Structure 1
Amino acid sequence: MTDRRLIQSRYQLLDLIGRGGMGEVWRARDESLGRHVAVKCLKPVGPQHDEAFTRVLRERFRREARVAAALQHRGVTVVHDFGESDGVLYLVMELLEGRNLSQLLEDNKQHPLPVAEVVDIAEQVADALGYTHRQGIVHRDLKPANIMRLDDGAVKLCDFGIARLGHDIGFTSRLTGTGIAMGTPHYMSPEQISGGEVDHRSDLYSLGCVLYEIATGVPPFDMEDSWSVLVGHRDTVPEPPRTHRAELPRFFDEVVLELLAKTPDERPADAGDLRQRIALGRTGEQPQAGQARPAPPVPVATPGAGEPGLPSWTRDMTTGHKAVGAGASATAAVEHATALTAAWTTGTGQALAGGLTPEGSGGPAPSPGPPATPDGRHRAGLDLGRLGHWEEAGDVHRAVATEREQALGPDHPDTLASRYEIGFTLSRTGHTADALREFGRVAEGRARTLGPDHPETLAARQEAAYVLGQLDRHFEAHQIYAAVLASRERSMGPDHPDTLRCRHNLAFNLSRLGRLEDSYRMAREVADARGRVLGPAHPDTLVTLYEVAYALGRLERWADALETYREVARARAGTLGADHPDTLSARYEVGISLGRLGRSAEALELYRTLVEDRTRIGGPLDPETLRARHGVGVNLGRLSRWDEALAESREVCALRERTLGPGHPDTLVSRREVAVGLGWLGRWTDALGDYRAIAEIRERTLGPDHPDTLAGRNDEAHCLEQLGRGTEAVAVHRRVADLRRQRGVPPH
Structure 2
Amino acid sequence: MADTRLLQGRYRLLDLIGRGGMGEVWRARDESLGRQVAVKCLKPTGPKADRELGHGLRARFRREAQVAAALQHHGVTVVHDFGDADGVLFLVMELLEGRNLSQLLDDNDGRPLPVGEVEEIAAQLAAALAYTHEQSVVHRDLKPANIVRCLDGTVKICDFGIARLGHDIGFTAKITGTGIAMGTPHYMSPEQIGGGHLDERSDLYSLGCVLYEIATGAPPFDLGDTWSILVGHRDTAPEPPAGQRGELPGYLDEVILTLLAKEPEDRPRSARELAALIGTGRAAHTSAPLPGRPSARPGLAPPGGELPLPAWARGMTAGPKAAPAPAPDVPHPALTTAWTRGWPPAPSPAAPGQEHTDLEAQSAEARRLSAAGRWTDACEAHRRVTAGRARVLGPDHPDTLTARYELGYALSRAGRDVAALQEYEQAAAGRERVLGALHPDTLAARQETAYVLGRLGRHAEAHGMYTAVLAGREHTLGPEHPDTLRCRHDLAFSLGRLGRLEESHRAAEEVAAARARVLGPGHRDTLVTRYEVGYALGRLGRWSEALEVYGAVAGARAQSLGADHPDTLAARYETGISLGRLGRSEEALHLYRALLADRTRLGGPEDLETLRARHGLGVNLGRLGRWPEALAEAEQVLAGRERVLGPDHPDTLVARREAAVCLGWLGRWPEALDAYRKVAETRERLLGPGHTEVLAAREDEARCLEQLGRVQEAAALHRQVAALRARLG
Q: TM-score, normalised by structure 1?
A: 0.47
Q: Greater relative contact order (Cα 8 A, min sep 6): structure 1 or 2?
A: 2
